[in-house]
Structure 1
Amino acid sequence: MTTTEAGLQALVGPQFQALADALAAEPPTIADAPSLCAGWSVRHVVAHVTMAARYDGPAFMAELAEAGGDFDVLSETIARRDGDLPFDTLINDLRSETMAPWAPPGGGSAGALSHVVIHGLDITAATGLPRTASDEATHAVLSTLTDGGAQPFGLDITGRSLRATDLDWQLGDGPWVDAAAAELILALARRQRPGVDLGDATSVPSRVDLA
């Protein structure tokens, strides 16, 4: 599976495109359906993940300064404000050429891929759609979230073994937690998932982010 920076970055654009295709094929009402991100509808999540399509570096820094340097405040402000854009516009932003090479500061290609895959699942899992991320991208994100025990969401999975039921991926040497790859990713990202017990996964709000 892909592990290089270039290889991971090459996966980013296709995941944005796949999410755009899936949403474009649904009735427009999906825009206002709830997502797994607390308090956000699908349109808010799409507005959040496509910030880079609308804000270049200086514009982003100006928005961050306006938010007092607080990225959480910035994310909420932009998701609410830009979520009011026509949904077709937001879908087109998912397809923007800006998104394929985008990477969050300090997160690199792995952070970019995790960003689109996890938030894509926030949408598809909540609305009953199949996951849009490819098997390769999903496998890579599972590995990123569990690499060397450095869980980016701060979840301690010591003593558990995780195994995807729909991909060739497993990790650990303790009691098995078996679930679809999408469900494992969401649980590792601290989203509450029925039947996937990773200990304290429900102890923080579900809108924690990588970027």
Structure 2
Amino acid sequence: MTDLQSWVAPTYQGLADLLTAGPARTWEAPSLCAGWSVRHVVAHVTMPARLTPATFGAELAAAGGDFGVLSDTVALRDAALPVTELLDQLRSPVLHAWQPPGGAAGALSHAVIHGLDVTVALGRPAVAPAEAVTAVLDQLVDAEGRWFGVDLTGVRLEAADTGRAWGDGRPVRADSGSLVALLAGRTLPDGRALPRR
């Protein structure tokens, strides 16, 4: 069995490389996360590189125990950090080794989904290894839309890049990365989205 954590570092490194090579305006471009720019997404995913467990606990307490409030607060605040600092944090071994309560599977899905929030929005290929995208897609399909409140009733998902398919009904055809984004409750740049429960 593949060590899912081993795909986390290349995903974040790939995102850092993409942002380093791109124009400065890329940081201000909208992501697939509603209301967040690329800069906000990077500030969000790099939280583990900045916040100690004690600091995180204090931030969560200040947010009334609501992780959504904490995420928005930290993303909006820390998006103001210098680009060089955010890039260093994307390359941080601390971030690459971090695991949420969901363990390595949670760490990988976090890295892949938020990487796709940037790359799909920018019309760029995924920065995660193809195997990592496939692993996260399998996790989301197995969860049957529950993680992000997506309703897969009467939907057939078709991965255009691998030929794999799941479910029965109205076909939704896209590359694996875009399917991951759809299953994570995102709206694609072309306006496609899966219905919500």
Aligned to 2:72: 76
Q: CA offsets per residue over residues 16-57 of structure 1, 9 Å max, x none?
A: 111111111112221111112122111111000010000111
- Higher helix residue share: 2
Quick one: which amino acid aligns to residue 141 of structure 1? V
Q: CA offsets per residue over residues 128-157 of structure 1, 9 Å max, x none?
A: 222211110110010010115363112121
1-structure distance, mates of 2:178, 2:141: 14
Aligned to 2:119: 124
Aligned to 2:162: 167
2-structure distance, mates of 1:156, 1:71: 23
How many residues are paired up? Answer: 196
1:140 to 135, 143, 146: 135
2-structure distance, mates of 1:77, 1:178: 35
Quick one: which amino acid aligns to residue 80 of structure 2? D
Aligned to 1:24: 20
| Equivalent pair of 2:63/2:69 in contact (CA under 8 Å) | yes
2-structure distance, mates of 1:197, 1:38: 13
Q: CA offsets per residue over residues 51-93 of structure 1, 9 Å max, x none?
A: 0000111110011111111111111111111100001110110
Aligned to 1:58: 54
Provide TM-score, normalisation by structure 2: 0.91
Provide TM-score, normalisation by structure 1: 0.85
2-structure distance, mates of 1:31, 1:17: 16
1:91 to 87, 99, 104: 87
| Equivalent pair of 2:145/2:152 in contact (CA under 8 Å) | no
Unaligned segments of structure 2, at least 5 residues? none
The secondary structure found in structure 1 opposite 2:64 is coil
- How much has 1:159 moved relative to structure 2? 3.1
- Could you say if the C-alpha distance between residues 62 and 150 of structure 1 is closer, same or farther in structure 2, counting changes exceeding 3 Å? same
The secondary structure found in structure 2 opposite 1:155 is coil
1-structure distance, mates of 2:193, 2:30: 23
* Match status 1:36 vs 2:32: yes
After alignment, is 146-155 or 114-123 more displaced? 146-155
1-structure distance, mates of 2:118, 2:175: 16
- Could you say if the C-alpha distance between residues 72 and 197 of structure 1 is closer, same or farther in structure 2, counting changes exceeding 3 Å? closer
1-structure distance, mates of 2:105, 2:145: 13
Aligned to 1:192: 187
2:173 to 165, 178, 181: 178
Unaligned segments of structure 1, at least 5 residues? 204-211
Aligned to 1:108: 103
